[in-house]
Amino acid sequence: MKSRRWYAHHRLPRRFYEELAEEGLLYAFLQEHCADLLQRDEQFRYDMYEILLRCAPKPEAGLERDLLSELSEALSYFLEYTRPWRKAKL
């Protein structure tokens, strides 16, 4: 019910994905039918993650794993990118 109020407040139409998320089926649907799209389309992936975080009735373990993996990759990139400055400081 919380997500329905969010859509009413923001005056946005609900989509098929929100319905699946509220039923707890969106993550499995995405993995089965949209796995390639999730990998290729960053905007779509972020939209789906946002819907899962906002509308799912309980936390999705697979989503948490995916988000932690992306965070780990971003931090690894940051550490590699800043290595010359960190070494120069020593």
**Predicted local confidence at residue 64, as pLDDT:** 94
Range of the domain at 20: 2-89
Structural domains of the chain, count: 1
* Whether the Cβ atoms of residue 64 and residue 52 lie closer than 8 Å to each other: no
Burial of 16 per CB tally in 10 Å (0-12, 13-18, 19+): exposed
- The predicted model scores a pTM of 0.71
Structure letter (DSSP) for residue 8: H
Using an 8 Å Cβ cutoff, are 86 and 49 in contact?
no
Residue 82 backbone dihedrals phi, psi, to 5 degrees:
-95, 5
d(CA 65, CA 39): 15
Residuewise pLDDT in 10s, the chain (90 residues): 455 555 555 555 668 888 899 999 999 999 999 899 999 999 999 999 999 998 888 988 999 999 999 999 999 999 999 998 888 766
